[in-house]
Amino acid sequence: MTSSSSSSSPSRKALSKIACNRLQKELAEWQLGPPGGFKHKVSDNLQRWVIEVAGAAGTLYAGETYQLQVDFPEHYPMEAPQVIFLHPAPMHPHIYSNGHICLDILYDSWSPAMTVSSVCISILSMLSSSPAKQRPADNDRYVKNCRNGRSPKETRWWFHDDKV
């Protein structure tokens, strides 16, 4: 799932006016009607959202609740947000124990047309389609190489498995 990590440091700059406007619009839409199974934890920080995820009924994750942390970059939506699971991360073949998620739309396949809602729905779909609760085969090596708060956006991901 992973290759190597680059050494660039993620910048945590203030949101651009475009990003602020877009996020305020998405937040307003979310408050009117969030996607099923998700709940935004209210805070005054527009740049970091914490979202509660409820496992879908009839799946391995039914009755379980997890939290996603979504950090928006300065140039959102032209640049993808960083999305990770907070501890404890669900056991899944594409979710590392440090919360990093191997999902192409969070990296190379990101499109500015995507929203927080569409990302959440994709993550829930990924969870729901899993036939087994297990960590990625390279979990220990990857997590060891991600010490000191390295962003998953610094990883060059290999997307080779679209079954789960």
- Token code pair at residue 20: 């602020």
Q: Is 102 an annotated catalytic residue?
A: yes
Which one, of 153, 48, 147, lies nearest residue 103 by Cα?
A: 153
Which one, of 105, 120, 119, 116, lies nearest residue 23 by Cα?
A: 116
Length, in residues, of the chain? 164
Q: Assess contact for 70 and 81: CB atoms under 8 A.
A: yes
Q: Assess contact for 94 and 138: CB atoms under 8 A.
A: no
Q: Cα-atom radius of gyration of the chain, to the nearest Å?
A: 15
Which one, of 38, 10, 44, 39, lies nearest residue 24 by Cα?
A: 44
Catalytic residue list: 102
